[in-house]
Amino acid sequence: MTLRIEMPEKIGMSSERVEVINEVAKRLVEDGITPAQVTLVARKGMIIHEEAYGKLTPELNSPLIQNDTLFPMCSIAKVITATCIMILVEEGRIGINRPVVDYIPEFQGEGKKEVRISHLLTHTSGIRDDELYAHMDQKKITAVIPPCEDTQDPATHEWLFLGYDTPLWKKPGTAMSYSSYGYQLLGEIIRRVSGMSFEGYVKEKVFNPLGMSDSYFYVPLEERSRVVKRSPNDLCAEWLLQERHLDSTSAAGGLYSTAMDLAKFAQMFLNKGSFDGKRILSPASVVAMTTNQIPGVSSEYRDEVFPEAYWGYGWSINGTKMDGGDLFSPNAFSHWGAAGVFFCADPIYDIVTVYLSVEIDHQKPFKNIYADLFNNVAIAAIEEI
């Protein structure tokens, strides 16, 4: 199954209520919630909503934003990285429950031998990024960075090296602490095991077969005029406005993409691992990635506490969190990124939603970024389940 445009009634949705989706998306821009936004809804592999509202840049003479505008996906990159890890598992090249140190011997310190790849995927490795960053800043004063291999990005290489010996915050598997460094380690495992650059492996195994032709780790120079820009005062502008972020190949946050490409990726999961006749993952891997792998484990993120973290191998599982919407089923899986991006797939309702925006400031709860308002009306447009 691929994605194509269809009338809502043919897939059990109401045209009248789909118009409400359009109105809500437009209103979020008109009310000044966001200056730029692209949204997409697909059900049963059929697109019933794809709209762009707002301007490409903060300039007065800015062109309007387009459906194929490139957005920084930030942490949405992590679920792409997790997918590549599962591909290596299916190829018999790594094991999820094998120690990280088997693949990265430099990952040393008390308790580090107990950290498994599964812990990195579910953010339960015992690494806490705030403490890790403090360790890295101190170490950087005197550290001598070893040479970087040809397949490695120098900035990523330095970041990884500075963090390898950071002490663990807690015993692996006992608590969830959302960790970008953990996903950088996964990207390094992909690089070392595959023998390719991280971005090269992603392109070969995920982007090309899915037809995600507008997705990049490192945005080509000729495509950079398509990237949405934000005001210097907007959330995350201090780093997203830097040219070097467009050069990033970070496995934890370096992705740039479009609403359509994200929809293809999410639809592949609803299709149990295939899209447009091409298989990316086995059904078994899809189940593993979209099932809560850490039952009973709690999580804290900023000032929010989740008694049950609900995390699969890469995806956030809805469970009782109501992540990004109040009407999603507990089986829905999603991911968000800093600065205003969110996408979700719900196998119960057979629906994909994509919400890309320029977030002006942090909304509370952080995870919603107003995507909950959009997603609620999208689910409410379903008439036949």
Q: Are residues 239 and 303 in the same domain?
A: yes
Q: Are residues 23 and 96 in the same domain?
A: no
pTM of the shown model = 0.96
Residues 127, 178: Cα–Cα separation, whole Å: 9
CA 13 from centre of chain? 28
Q: What is the pLDDT of residue 34?
A: 92
Q: Looking at the 3D structure of the chain, how many domains does it have?
A: 2
Q: Are residues 223 and 362 in the same domain?
A: yes
Main-chain phi, psi angles of 42, to 5 degrees: -135, 140
Q: Is the pLDDT of residue 53 over 80?
A: yes
Q: Are residues 99 and 172 in the same domain?
A: yes
How confident is the model over 9-30, as pLDDT tens digits?
999 999 999 999 999 999 999 9
Residues 25, 29: Cα–Cα separation, whole Å: 7
Query: If you write DSSP's letter for every residue of 294-342 in order, what string do you get?
Result: STT--EEETTEEESS--B-SSSEE-TTS-TT-SSS-TT-EEEEETTTEE
In a domain, 385, yes or no: no
Q: Are residues 152 and 11 in the same domain?
A: no
Q: Are residues 347 and 366 in the same domain?
A: yes
How confident is the model over 279-311, as pLDDT tens digits?
999 999 999 999 999 999 998 777 777 889 999
In a domain, 86, yes or no: yes
Q: Are residues 13 and 107 in the same domain?
A: no
Query: What value does the mean pLDDT take over residues 56-79?
Result: 97
Q: Are residues 259 and 337 in the same domain?
A: yes
Q: Are residues 242 and 373 in the same domain?
A: yes
* Domain extent for 333: 4-76+213-380
**Nearest by Cα to 290 from 304, 310, 306:** 310
Query: What value does the mean pLDDT take over residues 61-70?
Result: 97
Report the DSSP beta bridge partners of residue 37. Answer: 53, 357
Burial class (CB in 10 A: 0-12, 13-18, 19+), 92: exposed
In a domain, 134, yes or no: yes
Q: Are residues 48 and 86 in the same domain?
A: no
Q: Are residues 226 and 373 in the same domain?
A: yes
CA neighbours closer than 13 Å in the CB half-sphere of residue 128: 15
Q: Last residue of a domain, which of 194, 222, 250?
A: 194
Here the tokens at position 111 are 């308790």
